[in-house]
Amino acid sequence: MSIVSFRGLAPPSSGDIPVSDPDRLTDLESKHALVTDYLKSQNLDAIILQKPGNFSWFTSGGDCSRGGYTEPTAALLITADARVLVCGNVDSGQLFDRQLYGLGFQLKERPWHEPRQVLIDDLCRGRMVVSDTGVSGTKDVSQALLEMRQPLNELEITRLKETALLTTHAVEATARQFKKGQTEAEIAGELSHRMIKHDITPVRLQVMADGQGHRYRHWGFGADTVERYCVISAVGRRQGLCVGITRTVSFGEPPKTIRTAHHRALLMQATGMYFSQPGWEFQETWQRVARIYEKFECPDEWQHADQADLIGYEISEAALVPKSDFTFQPGMAVHWHPSVGPAAVSDTILIGESAFENLTPSEGWPRLTVEVKRTPIQLSDILCREAIDYQDEKDSHILLG
């Protein structure tokens, strides 16, 4: 049964009428062609996409969640000849007006009080169908979809760079302006506000006061107050794409143990960035990073937290672990986030044909330059709040062979 959503009595104003985006439509058509080739190669009739990341990828930035939550409100049924939105009547109007306008989607709709699963079962009956969740007994082809999502295309890279700069600004502005004695939760709220007003969804926020990260590497935020120093991390999502960044701030000169731990973490980060080489398997890169952990007398620190992720339409498109045979390619984004004791650092890089690009460079922030194989890599040092005016002139330098 199909129901027409209620649209209201007043006609929309000119400002409410969506405008078609030709670049987005071109991007979607290329992805539909990619999916069609896959279906034909596997003798399949259709694929169902339910995960928000895959929805965003296929629709070139669309969002099928409510208010940024991960629970999807819709699914996509894609065949060689059609792309169909499957959802309840209370969501179809908003999705077509705000997310899918002018993109050539058809609609299969159910009343909000009937399970979407029933409609999906009907659509799968008598067809050879796969999916990204295994719904209705279909084969889960998430790995094949990952290979379609990676590497990022030119439009996606442009969007990712815009998101990275906005997220960097939000994190650094928060670090510069919060007050001593504020709670981690209050600081996280300020960061969230700065991100949301730029249409960035805070996917993961971490505010770790006075060494909190030493105890809990994946700490979020809580009621503890910041008295001496703080590590602030964020992963933001915009137009479906995610980016991660971390900065550390201190009220006055940080304790020597903190600065030492921070600098060691930067050495690991710089090494990982430099050796994220196109054509390399991650385990080759990891051997270089592990060697630096050993060289600087913290050989077991990497055991306490994950180090890096392929990032894109998911926070972790692929977990990069020591024995991973995942191969880097140009156009892939990697979020390097090593930690040493209470210190945590992170930036998002884009792998290029011959070198990487840091997508989250600092804005007027103290820097530390690490040379890896005679290549200078500028990373973010600790911001001392009582010395903001002259810190840019006090950059540090470390040389790695």
Task: Give the pLDDT confidence score for residue 291 in this predicted structure.
Answer: 96
Euclidean distance between CA atoms 24 and 59, whole angstroms: 8
The residues pairing with 370 across neighbouring beta strands, listed in sequence order, are 377, 398
318: three-class secondary structure by DSSP: strand
3-state helix, strand and coil shares in percent for the chain, rounded to the nearest 5? 35, 25, 40
Strand order in the sheet with 356-358: 318-319, 308-311, 333-336, 347-351, 356-358
Task: Give the pLDDT confidence score for residue 67 in this predicted structure.
Answer: 72
123 in Cβ contact with 108 (< 8 Å): yes
Euclidean distance between CA atoms 91 and 109, whole angstroms: 9
The token duo for 333 is 């984004």
Would you list the domain boundaries of the chain?
14-149, 154-400
Which residues in the chain land under pLDDT 70?
1-19, 68-70, 387-401
Indicate the pairing of strand 46-49 with strand 74-78: antiparallel
Task: Give the pLDDT confidence score for residue 62 in this predicted structure.
Answer: 95
65 in Cβ contact with 149 (< 8 Å): no
Euclidean distance between CA atoms 144 and 146, whole angstroms: 5
Please name the residue ranges forming H helices in 249-348.
Answer: 256-274, 282-295
Euclidean distance between CA atoms 229 and 251, whole angstroms: 6
Q: Is the dihedral of CA 9, 103, 199, 313 positive or negative?
A: positive
Amino acid letter, residue 316: S
Q: Measure CA 7 to chain center.
A: 34
Q: What is the pLDDT of residues 44-69, one digit of tens each?
A: 999 999 999 999 999 999 999 887 56
Q: What is the pLDDT of residues 298-319, one digit of tens each?
A: 999 999 999 999 999 999 999 8
**Per-residue DSSP letters for 157-183?**
HHHHHHHHHHHHHHHHHHHHHPPTT-B
305 DSSP 8-state letter: S
Q: How many CA atoms lie within 13 A of 326 on its CB side?
A: 23
For residue 194, count other CB atoms closer than 10 A to its CB.
Answer: 21
CATH superfamily of 154-400: Creatinase/methionine aminopeptidase superfamily (3.90.230.10)
If phi > 0 it is left, if psi is from -120 to 50 it is alpha, else beta; for residue 154 that is alpha
**Per-residue DSSP letters for 331-363?**
T-EEEE--EETTEE-BEEEEE-SSSEEESS--S
Please name the residue ranges forming H helices in 67-152.
Answer: 89-94, 116-124, 142-149
262 in Cβ contact with 223 (< 8 Å): no
Fold that domain 14-149 belongs to in CATH? Creatine Amidinohydrolase; Chain A, domain 1 (3.40.350)
Is the bond leading into 151 cis (omega within 30 degrees of zero)? yes
